[in-house]
């Protein structure tokens, strides 16, 4: 658990904020030099998400989505705006959200809100979102803050809405990355946090065709 590897919570968060302030506001910057995997990532995410958007009595709506840890809007632009009427973005780095306004182009007019905030302090508007997408950012939250944030996300869902996490998974335990001040959890730890937040796992999938040298990446859908 993160309590074993995060010695100073305030420092954990401030170091991460400082790290991201120095990262270029580009797709390559968002992906830590792995910009070339962006299309593979987006295509897999689209297939994963569309199974919930198909016709049926429990179909997830397409009115509004929230992109958490949105950066310059890579996921908003290529995954969420093509599928949803409006999108909100939240990120801790103001420069990224400023850059997003030009990066998103004309379609960016359908982004309603740009929230500059750490997820540990962010509360989605209750009963507002069909999909809350949380990608490559849960490592910047302690276990308690992640569980609490997921509880707030649950309250932010519209009927049949889903929360999606897509992130790196460690082979075992919790690994600290001192460079960007983040943690990487194993599947078992993530499952426990999801359950603690009162969410029910609907689907889980391992990302294919990513470079061998990076962590395994998993996508979870829950409500």
CATH of the domain at 49: 3.40.50.150
- Mean pLDDT for 36-62 is 94
Domain count, the chain: 1
**pLDDT(27) > 80:** yes
Q: Tell me, yes or no, whether 95 lies in a domain.
A: no
Judged against a pLDDT cut of 80, whether residue 28 lies above it is answered with yes
Residue 93 assigned as binding residue: yes
Structural domain range at position 27? 2-62+128-222
C-alpha distance from residue 99 to each of 2, 24, 70, 90 (Å): 32, 10, 11, 13
Tell whether the model's pLDDT for residue 1 goes beyond 80. no
**76 assigned to some structural domain:** no
Please tell me whether 108 is known to bind a ligand: no
Instruction: Give the pLDDT of residue 4.
Output: 84
Domain annotation covers residue 58: yes
Q: What is the pLDDT of residue 81?
A: 98
Residue-wise pLDDT tens digits, 88-112: 999 999 999 999 999 999 999 999 9
74 is in an annotated binding site: yes
More confident call, 3 vs 158 = 158
The answer to whether 95 is annotated as binding is no
Average pLDDT (41-54) is 96
Mean of all residue pLDDT scores within the chain: 97
Residue 119 annotated in ligand binding = yes
Q: Is 120 annotated as a binding residue?
A: yes
Q: What is the pLDDT of residue 184?
A: 98
Over residues 136-146, the mean pLDDT reads: 98
- What's residue 3's pLDDT? 79
Would the pLDDT of 78 be above 90? yes
Q: Is 50 annotated as a binding residue?
A: no
């Amino acid at each position: 658990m993160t309590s074993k590897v995060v010695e100073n919570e305030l420092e954990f968060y401030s170091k991460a904020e400082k790290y991201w302030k120095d990262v270029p506001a580009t797709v390559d910057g968002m992906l830590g030099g792995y910009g070339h995997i962006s299309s593979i990532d987006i295509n897999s995410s689209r297939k994963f998400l569309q199974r919930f958007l198909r016709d049926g009595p429990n179909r997830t709506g397409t009115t509004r989505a929230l992109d958490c840890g949105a950066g310059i809007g890579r996921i908003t632009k290529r995954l969420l705006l093509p599928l949803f009427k409006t999108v909100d973005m939240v990120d801790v780095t103001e420069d990224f959200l400023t850059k997003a306004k030009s990066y998103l182009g004309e379609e960016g007019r359908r982004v309603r809100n740009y929230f500059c905030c750490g997820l540990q302090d962010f509360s989605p508007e209750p009963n507002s979102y069909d999909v809350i997408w949380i990608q490559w950012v849960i490592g910047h939250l302690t276990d308690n803050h992640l569980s609490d944030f997921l509880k707030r996300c649950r309250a932010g869902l519209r009927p049949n809405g889903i929360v999606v996490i897509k992130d790196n998974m460690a082979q075992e335990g919790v690994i600290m990355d001192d460079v960007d001040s983040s943690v990487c959890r194993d599947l078992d730890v993530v499952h426990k946090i999801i359950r603690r937040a009162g969410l029910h796992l609907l689907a889980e999938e391992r990302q294919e065709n990513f470079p061998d040298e990076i962590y395994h990446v998993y996508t979870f859908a829950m409500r």
